Structure 1
Amino acid sequence: MSAVLRPTDTETTPVRLDSNNLGTLHITPLDAPLGARVSGIDLRDRPTAAQVLALKAALRRHHILVFSGQSPSDQQYLDFTLHFGTVFTSPRNAPVLGSDPYGNTPDVVRVSNVDDGLLGNHELPAHADHHWTPQPSAGSLLLALEVPAQGGDTTWRNLALAYDALDEATRREIDGLQLITYNPFLRSKKPLPGGKVDYRTPDIEPVTPWVAHPLVRTHPDSGRRALFLGEGTEVELVGYEPQAGAALIARLRAHLLQDRFAYTHRWQVGDVVYWDNQITLHGRTEFNPAQRRVLKRISLSGSTPF
């Protein structure tokens, strides 16, 4: 009987989880800076306690989990997801993807370029979901129903590895800094005359409400330190000279966007990817608008970053 995958287990050896309680569940690390492939489990079925614990441990170690060949109904998808936490709910004054005019968001968000979907076909820069809310989501699951022949790939980036790879002087410089990530949905209601900016300076009126989070976040379960910074969202360092702050953020962004921290997923129908939103970024390549891309996302509640 194999042991449940634990944070101290090797990251390079495929792990076979095969017991009466674990069934045929396999968790195999990807040949990438983050991620593991999960097989031998059907999201339409109720997982055992041992399977849930194994998947939680694997997510803590690998940050993203890739399932293939899945076809749950919305209710089965939600039932499976709720084994890992409660559904994320945003504050009514902090809209997110899928929010209606009253601030309500469905449990299952349709991420699509067609019908009643919420996104087009354009490229999406690397970001953490709900970064601008007081308690950003802990993680999300995304189920692929229709995918384009080319494009629409998603790249995840390992923010813990990115932080570890910084030189000691830079880590000393950024530890303890607070970062405001402004809400892009609120900014879209107050567009800037010169267009989008990546760093807010004093001449630009901020959108409210806003919240500051640590630039270097501690993962609430593993204790790993990670850069908590997206690629292109409007941000501002608290109490930092604007020109120096903009230069520092630009330098950190160039660092975390290196390929050595990234895994790119080419979607297939039936894929589900479960990622830790507290320690990764994700972004999407553009695709032909004449082709359909339909996915469904469920996000899980998180905690106040520290």
Structure 2
Amino acid sequence: MTSAIQVKPISGALGAEIDGVDLASDLSNEAFDQVHQAFLDHHVIFFRGQHGLTPEKHKAFGRHFGTLNVHPYVKGMEGHPEILEIIKEPEEKTNFGGGWHTDMSFLEEPALGSILHAIEVPPFGGDTLWANQHLAYEALSDGLKETLEGLTAIHSAKGEYGPKGQSALNRQSMEATAAPDAPEFEHPVVRTHPETGRKGLYVNPAFTLRFKGWSRRESRPLLNYLFEHSRQEPFTCRFRWEAGSVAFWDNRSTWHFALNDYHGHRRHMRRVTVNGDRPF
């Protein structure tokens, strides 16, 4: 019943848990509208106890919001290429997503959002952090805002999926392809959200290489300042996973960071990514 849906914020910056929704069932129009509005209002939304979310149901929920992405460099789940099996085995030292980033900003049309379902979680650790890039932008001085409005940034996967990257490369639990010659795409440094009209920063440490027309050396001081600024504690929330938990975040307005603090234990997640449009 849609009247039972409750939206409970988890921090002052972003994030809300939603009760009263079974993602494995068909959502009514009213329920979808409530979930969609919570997504826009809170930028990342969480659902507990979604044990019935099969791969097909996972994809079906994602398709409410758009077409689904097939990752260009990481092999998807057998029979479900749209689903990434994000696994860290007990003996592995690095994890997938272990640094602040925005999913798929290295594409010409980056992702709208990502939907992550926890299958198996460690007994401790493995939380995920998110950072609100609208708040990060709004906290800047008027002078820096004016400077950034005229800048374009170059994004590419060639760093993260190159020889020194921290992606799924060289990890036994995920099959990935190296991308040292990955294409570069231009995106505005200040992005306008296509649904809310709100402005936010759109650079990230994983995939932003430099500013258009600037060298990497010239770009580094300002990019480093923005990277440090954008992950300040007042802009963040933190989520403790349980088996069956689902997070759905807006890649147009957030960064996220998967903490790697559970060595010796297994963590298994499944991710569906919803395709987006070209930033403006």
What interval of TM-score do these two structures reach, taking the shorter chain for normalisation?
Answer: 0.7 to 0.9
Greater mean alpha carbon deviation, residues 231-240 or residues 143-152: 231-240
Distance 2:250 2:47 in 1: 15
- Choose from 109, 116, 121 the match for 2:95: 121
Name the residue aligned to 1:78. Answer: 59
Give the TM-score normalised by structure 2.
Answer: 0.86
Tell me the amino acid that sits aligned with residue 226 of structure 2. Answer: L
Name the residue aligned to 1:299. Answer: 273
The Cα shift of 1:168 comes to 0.5
Distance 1:230 1:28 in 2: 28
Distance 1:187 1:140 in 2: 19
Q: Secondary structure at the match of 1:84?
A: coil
Q: Secondary structure at the match of 1:52?
A: helix
Q: Report 1:167-182 matches (<5 A).
A: 167-182=141-156
- Choose from 215, 231, 235 the match for 1:261: 235
Name the residue aligned to 2:187. Answer: 213
Distance 1:256 1:122 in 2: 21
1:98 aligns with 2:68: no
Q: Residue 298 and residue 83 in structure 1: after superposition, are their counterparts in 2 closer, same or farther (change >3 A)?
A: same
Q: Residue 280 and residue 244 in structure 1: after superposition, are their counterparts in 2 closer, same or farther (change >3 A)?
A: same
Deviations 1:250-301 (A, max 9, x none): 1111100111111111111111001001110111111334211001111101
Distance 2:233 2:102 in 1: 18
Name the residue aligned to 1:44. Answer: 24
Name the residue aligned to 1:57. Answer: 37
Cα contact 1:112–1:119 (8 A) shared by 2: no
Cα contact 1:121–1:287 (8 A) shared by 2: no
Q: Secondary structure at the match of 2:64?
A: helix
Cα contact 2:76–2:83 (8 A) shared by 1: no
Deviations 1:37-94 (A, max 9, x none): 100111121110011111111111110111001111111222222222221245xxxx
The Cα shift of 1:242 comes to 4.4
Segments ≥4 residues shifted beyond 3 Å: 96-100, 118-123, 184-187, 241-244
1:24 aligns with 2:4: yes
Structure 2: runs of 5 or more not aligned: 166-179
Q: Secondary structure at the match of 2:154?
A: strand
Q: Report 1:85-234 matches (<5 A).
A: 85-89=66-70, 95-98=72-75, 106-114=81-89, 120-121=94-95, 124-184=98-158, 188=162, 191=163, 207-233=181-207
Distance 1:250 1:297 in 2: 29
Tell me the amino acid that sits aligned with residue 69 of structure 2. Answer: F
Greater mean alpha carbon deviation, residues 29-38 or residues 249-258: 29-38
Structure 1: runs of 5 or more not aligned: 1-19, 197-205
Deviations 1:160-203 (A, max 9, x none): 00000000011011112111122147851xx4xxx67xxxxxxx
Equivalenced residues, count: 264
- Choose from 252, 259, 269 the match for 1:278: 252
Q: Secondary structure at the match of 1:249?
A: helix
Name the residue aligned to 1:66. Answer: 46
Q: Percent identity?
A: 30
RMSD over aligned CA atoms reads 2.6
Q: Secondary structure at the match of 2:184?
A: coil
The Cα shift of 1:150 comes to 2.2
Q: Residue 151 and residue 232 in structure 1: after superposition, are their counterparts in 2 closer, same or farther (change >3 A)?
A: same
Deviations 1:131-169 (A, max 9, x none): 111111100110111111222211000000000000001
The Cα shift of 1:119 comes to 9.7
Give the TM-score normalised by structure 1.
Answer: 0.79
